[in-house]
């Protein structure tokens, strides 16, 4: 109900349009394992140890003996993908999002020629998906930069990364353009605006800050280099095959004003600039006035080369891929980062419950997100991550009745449908994050489970890797079967 009554089309069923893509989402580094098989070189996530809800992951100097790196094995999807795809097909998936592991194709990242073994794996994976009526949705770089590029070049601090990324794109576009229609450039490229978290700079851009760094200066320069790389990749895709749809991918956490105090509204507006910056450049093709003023105020100098701004202008994307998990709030003058959302004025929202990892639960925030993004850009949106991380406790028979996950997903899919039916937002599809239990990104835990499929593996790497259907498996199967009409 909005403004006291449903809009004029209230009689319309709350279901998705024909052709809507339903599925699940993962990332190579969190699912594949086989970290050093068939030529694959270490990626930045292969030097991140396991952590926990209150124990940050550590980034080690190389792969060290005696440390536990959960991404090395993932859930061994590299060897089990046929079986896992059978389970996704059983749920009725029409699409499945994963990434191409950059260091499986270019083990060090600066080679001239790619690994044929790496390319052959993704040929087999995409063929297996199509054989089951599942359309691939591919993230080009999902926190998987070859560790060599981070270690030897400093990641995107070095402009040569633009060319290395473009070479990677050229190889995979030419190889898979007849098998993959939906592509996204960089996963959650905006995470790195939170310069207090080393894990974000490292996984977004291969950057390790030094004590001498002005972190915001470094971050915005690196962001510029990455935005140019993405725009030029978009132009390359257009030349190789215009049928390819290239999207950006952003982590969207809408920031509400903590009160009706106009100062809080301005505080929220300012805080949102570190999100809108990315979609504004990706969709409008230029740097907005607010960021230029902000750089001037902070004395930030961006090294912009000839042709960069033209590339941004010409390389705008076709759609916005986004992850949505939570919302946040901002109070003018707050300095405590109470809500840990990576911006100084963040405060907790007393109207929302939180997950066991402190993530706000706000389905309405998804409707608000989709409506505001669509109003601003009027391009199709793709919800490529939404899910509920929780401790799943099997009963004595091993069954998991994850009603809490069904409840979270039901409310968020209903919110998605309100955006489509009430606001007219064009949404390409919806892929549940971690449709099968995978290694958590922020904590490296297996026990922060998102899946409708349980995987028998614990935080220390013990377990049989057996897959088991949870209660949510059958619930989501019915949601897809009714195209979202019955939640
Ligand atoms: C997003 C990442 C995903 C996934 C998800 C869940 O930021 O794009 O890779 O990890 O968060 O977060 P986590 O795994 O930390 O619980």
Q: Tell me the per-residue pLDDT of 416-474, one tens digit each, with 9 for 90 and over.
A: 999 999 999 999 999 999 999 999 999 999 999 999 999 999 999 999 999 999 999 99
Contact of 224 with 301, CB cutoff 8 Å: no
The whole-number pLDDT of residue 3 equals 55
Confidence band for 63, pLDDT divided at 50, 70 and 90: very high
pLDDT reported for residue 4: 44
Distance 304 CA to ligand 1 centre (A): 31
* pLDDT at position 5: 45
347: left (phi over 0), alpha (psi -120 to 50) or beta: beta
pLDDT digits (tens, 9 = 90+) for 374-408: 999 999 999 999 999 999 999 999 999 999 999 99
What is the full DSSP assignment across 163-223? Answer: HHHHHHHHHHHHHHTTT--EEEEETTGGGGG-TT-HHHHHHHH-----TT--HHHHHHHHH
Q: Please name the residue whose Cα sits nearest to atom 2 of ligand 1.
A: 441
Q: Which CATH class is domain 21-248+380-481?
A: alpha beta
**What are the DSSP E strand ranges found in 44-191?**
95-99, 135-141, 182-186
Please tell me the distance from the alpha carbon of residue 440 to that of residue 179, in angstroms, as a whole number.
28
Average pLDDT over every residue of 349-375? 96
Mean pLDDT value of segment 189-200: 96
Please say if the pLDDT value at position 10 is more than 60.
no
Largest Cα–Cα separation, the chain: 65
Q: Which of 442, 447, 461 is nearest to 74 (CA)?
A: 461
Over residues 2-23, mean pLDDT? 72
Pocket flag, ligand 1, residue 141 (CB < 6 Å)? no
Question: Please, what is the average pLDDT of the chain?
Answer: 95
Tell whether the torsion through CA atoms of 413, 415, 421 and 425 is positive or negative.
negative
Cα 431 to ligand 1 centroid, rounded to whole Å:
13
440 lines ligand 1 (CB under 6 A): yes
Query: In whole angstroms, how far apart are CA 476 and each of 48, 236, 432?
Result: 33, 37, 10
**Considering only CA atoms, which of 72, 140, 153 is closest in space to residue 102?**
140
Instruction: Quote the ligand 1 centre to 49 CA distance (angstroms).
Output: 16
Ligand 1 mutation target, pool 26, 275, 442, 443, most atoms within 8 A of CB: 442
- Res. 340 pLDDT band, cuts 50 70 90: low
- In the reported structure, the alpha carbon of residue 323 is separated from the centroid of ligand 1 by a whole-number distance in angstroms of 9
Q: What is the pLDDT, as a whole number, of residue 343?
A: 82
**Ligand 1 lined by 188 (C-beta under 6 Å):** yes
**Ligand 1: nearest atom to the Cα of 448:** 16
Which segment of 3-17, 26-40, 264-278, 283-297 scores lowest on mean pLDDT? 3-17
Please spell the DSSP secondary structure of 18-50, one letter per residue: TT-EEEEE--HHHHT--TTSTTPPPBGGGGB--
Contact 285, 278 (CB under 8 A): no
List C-alpha distances in Å: 105 to 81, 126, 321: 18, 15, 24
Cα–Cα distance for residue pair 141/307, rounded to 1 Å: 23
Residues 6+ apart with CB under 8 A from 212: none
Closest CA to 27 of 390, 469, 440: 440
DSSP assigned state of 375:
H
Measure the CA–CA gap between 354 and 236, rounded to whole angstroms. 42
In DSSP terms, which residues pair with 429 in a beta bridge?
Answer: 21
Query: How far apart are alpha carbons 102 and 164 in whole angstroms?
Result: 10
Phi, psi for residue 337 in degrees, rounded to 5: 50, 40
Q: State whether the beta carbon of 225 lies less than 6 angstroms from ligand 1.
A: no
Percent helix, percent strand, percent coil in the chain, to nearest 5: 40, 15, 45
- pLDDT given at position 371: 98
Q: What pLDDT band is residue 13 in, cutting at 50, 70 and 90?
A: low
- pLDDT score recorded for residue 341: 67
Run of H or E residues at 264:
helix 262-284
- Whether 33 and 76 have beta carbons less than 8 Å apart is answered as yes
Which pLDDT belongs to residue 339? Answer: 61
Q: What is the pLDDT of residue 14?
A: 84
pLDDT at 403: 98
Please compute the mean of the pLDDT values over residues 258-266 and round it to a whole number: 98
Beta-ladder partners of 84 = none
Domain boundaries, the chain: 21-248+380-481
Output the residue whose Cα is nearest ligand 1's atom 12: 441
Q: Is the CB of 190 under 6 A from ligand 1?
A: no
CB atoms within 10 A of CB 457: 22
What's the pLDDT at 176? 99
Q: Are 91 and 476 in contact (CB under 8 A)?
A: yes
**Is 70 exceeded by the pLDDT of residue 240?**
yes
Name the residue with the closest Cα to ligand 1, atom 5: 441
pLDDT at 237: 98
Q: Looking at residues 103-127, what average pLDDT do you find? A: 98
Give 8's pLDDT tier (boundaries 50, 70, 90). very low
Candidates 50, 186, 383, 385: which one to mutate for ligand 1, based on the most atoms within 8 Å of Cβ?
Answer: 385
**229 pLDDT exceeds 60?**
yes
Tokens of residue 209, six digits = 């800050």
Determine whether 188 is an active site residue: yes
């Amino acid at each position: 109900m909005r403004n006291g009554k449903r809009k004029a089309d209230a009689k319309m069923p709350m279901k998705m349009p024909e052709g809507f893509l339903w599925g699940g989402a993962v990332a190579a580094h969190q699912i594949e394992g086989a970290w050093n098989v068939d030529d694959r070189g270490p990626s930045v996530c292969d030097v991140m140890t396991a952590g926990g809800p209150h124990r940050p992951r550590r980034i080690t100097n190389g792969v060290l003996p005696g440390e536990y790196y959960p991404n090395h094995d993932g859930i061994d999807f590299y060897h089990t993908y046929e079986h896992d795809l059978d389970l996704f097909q059983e749920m009725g998936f029409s699409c499945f999002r994963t990434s191409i592991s950059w260091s499986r194709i270019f083990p060090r990242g600066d080679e001239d020629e790619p690994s044929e073994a790496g390319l052959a794996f993704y040929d087999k994976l995409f063929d297996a998906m199509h054989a089951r009526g599942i359309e691939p949705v591919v993230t080009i770089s999902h926190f998987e930069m070859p560790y060599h590029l981070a270690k030897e070049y400093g990641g995107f601090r070095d402009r040569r990364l633009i060319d290395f990324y473009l070479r990677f794109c050229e190889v995979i576009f030419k190889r898979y353009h007849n098998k993959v229609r939906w592509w996204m450039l960089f996963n959650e490229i905006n995470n790195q605006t939170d310069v207090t978290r080393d894990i974000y700079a490292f996984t977004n851009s291969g950057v390790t800050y030094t004590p001498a760094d002005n972190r915001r200066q470094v971050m915005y320069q690196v962001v510029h280099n990455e935005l140019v790389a993405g725009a030029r990749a978009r132009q390359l895709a257009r030349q190789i095959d215009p049928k390819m749809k290239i999207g950006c991918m952003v982590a969207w956490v809408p920031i509400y004003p903590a009160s009706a105090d106009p100062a809080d509204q301005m505080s929220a507006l300012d805080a949102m600039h570190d999100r809108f910056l990315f979609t504004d450049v990706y969709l409008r093709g230029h740097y907005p006035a607010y960021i230029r003023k902000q750089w001037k105020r902070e004395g930030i100098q961006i090294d912009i080369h000839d042709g960069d701004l033209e590339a941004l202008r010409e390389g705008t994307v076709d759609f916005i891929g986004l992850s949505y998990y939570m919302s946040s709030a901002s109070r003018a003058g707050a300095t405590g980062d109470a809500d840990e959302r990576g911006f100084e004025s963040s405060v907790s929202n007393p109207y929302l419950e939180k997950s066991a990892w402190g993530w706000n639960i706000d389905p309405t925030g998804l409707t608000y997100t989709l409506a505001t993004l669509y109003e601003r850009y009027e391009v199709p949106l793709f919800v490529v991550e939404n899910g509920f991380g929780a401790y799943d406790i099997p009963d004595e028979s091993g069954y998991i009745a994850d009603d809490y996950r069904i409840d979270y997903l039901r409310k968020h899919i209903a919110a998605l449908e309100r955006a489509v039916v009430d606001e007219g937002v064009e949404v390409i599809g919806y892929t549940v994050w971690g449709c099968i239990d995978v290694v958590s990104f922020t904590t490296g835990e297996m026990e922060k489970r998102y899946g409708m499929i349980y995987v028998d593996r614990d935080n220390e790497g013990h377990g049989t890797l057996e897959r088991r259907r949870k209660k949510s498996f059958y619930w989501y199967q019915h949601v897809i079967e009714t195209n979202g009409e019955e939640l």
